[in-house]
Amino acid sequence: MSAKVTRLPVPAQPVPESPRSTASDTKLTQMAYEKILDAIVYGRLDLGEPLSENDLAKALNVSKAPIRQSLNELRLKGLVVVIPQSGSYVFSPTREEIEELCDFRLLLEQRALAVSMEHAGPAMLRSLKKTVDKMRDAYHAHDVFQSKLLDTEFHHTFIKHSQNRYLIQSYGNIGHSVGALRYRFMDTAVYRNRAFDEHQRMLELLTAGNVTKACDILDAHISRTKHFHAQVNWSSGRSQRKDYKFRDYSAIFAG
């Protein structure tokens, strides 16, 4: 008589995710990330503004998962802060943080400018001239947004032509925070006009080979940004939520 064999139940195997589904989720997360990032950097969201996952998901027509992942990535980049028992907020730098950021930015840009002139001077000067020419066109057309984009392009030219991977990486770590402050700073016409004049002057000096004087103007240029923002109180926290209770995200992310 044969022994009775007891068969143990086979554990249910997890159903592997469809590659198409994973790719779709990644694409949605990337879209949400870029939309929120642009809104922070370009000033469509205020510094210190509370961020509602539900409202963001609704405005971007995605589930909360891509929003949550996007906000976490932005937190790692320092553009979003999470306050326990309160929620997520656009970053709101203190005066000390702004001063330290601007000082570090100056350190990187001055070094990049000197290195770029030494190792890739002609190429960098050609790039700067193209940018300044486009700046002039945007200036005369009163195109404020394009002027801001070109301001960023001007400064990134120093970094790119340095060909120093660590300098480029370091600047990349602060680039979005610097941009967020720059776009708000340049909302003031007086500062915007002054910046345009300084960009032209730096190009003239670099073309003449006077790197030291160009670096002096760069110092004054960034220091003005530092002093402007150090006087602004970017508030944040639970008390801010009532001020944004009826924020229309759909208008911010339209287009």
CA 166, CA 78: separation in Å to the nearest integer? 19
Q: Give the pLDDT score at 21.
A: 55
- Give the mean pLDDT of 86-110: 92
Instruction: Name the pLDDT band for 245 (thresholds 50, 70, 90).
Output: confident
- Give the mean pLDDT of 137-157: 92
Cβ(73)–Cβ(34) below 8 Å: no
More confident residue, 16 or 55: 55
Residue 111, SS3?
A: helix
Alpha helices in 42-185, H assignment, sequence order: 53-60, 64-76, 95-140, 144-162, 165-185
Q: What are phi and psi of 159, to 5 degrees?
A: -65, -50
- Please say if the pLDDT value at position 182 is more than 90: no
Lowest pLDDT segment from 24-38, 104-118, 235-249: 235-249
CA dist 158 to 28, 93, 224, Å?
33, 25, 19
- Please say if the pLDDT value at position 168 is more than 90: yes
Q: Give the pLDDT score at 158.
A: 94
- Please say if the pLDDT value at position 49 is more than 70: yes
- Give the mean pLDDT of 34-49: 93
Q: Give the pLDDT score at 19.
A: 54
Q: Say what the alpha-carbon torsion angle 215, 219, 220, 226 is, to the nearest 10 degrees.
A: 160
Give the model confidence (pLDDT) of 57-79 as tens digits.
Answer: 999 999 999 999 999 999 999 99
CA 114, CA 119: separation in Å to the nearest integer? 9
Q: Give the pLDDT score at 94.
A: 87
CA 226, CA 57: separation in Å to the nearest integer? 35
Cβ(186)–Cβ(141) below 8 Å: no
Average pLDDT value for the chain:
87
Structure tokens at 9: 């139940």
**Long-range Cβ contact pairs of 122-127 (< 8 A, separation 24 or more):** 123/161, 124/157, 124/158, 124/161, 124/206, 125/203, 125/206, 125/207, 127/157, 127/160, 127/161
- Please say if the pLDDT value at position 20 is more than 70: no
Instruction: Name the pLDDT band for 9 (thresholds 50, 70, 90).
Output: low
Nearest to 45 by CA among 36, 34, 57: 36
Nearest to 78 by CA among 8, 184, 154, 181: 181
Domains of the chain in sequence order: 23-92+234-252 (1.10.10.10), 95-230 (1.20.120.530)
3-state secondary structure 33-50: HHHHHHHHHCCCCCCCCE
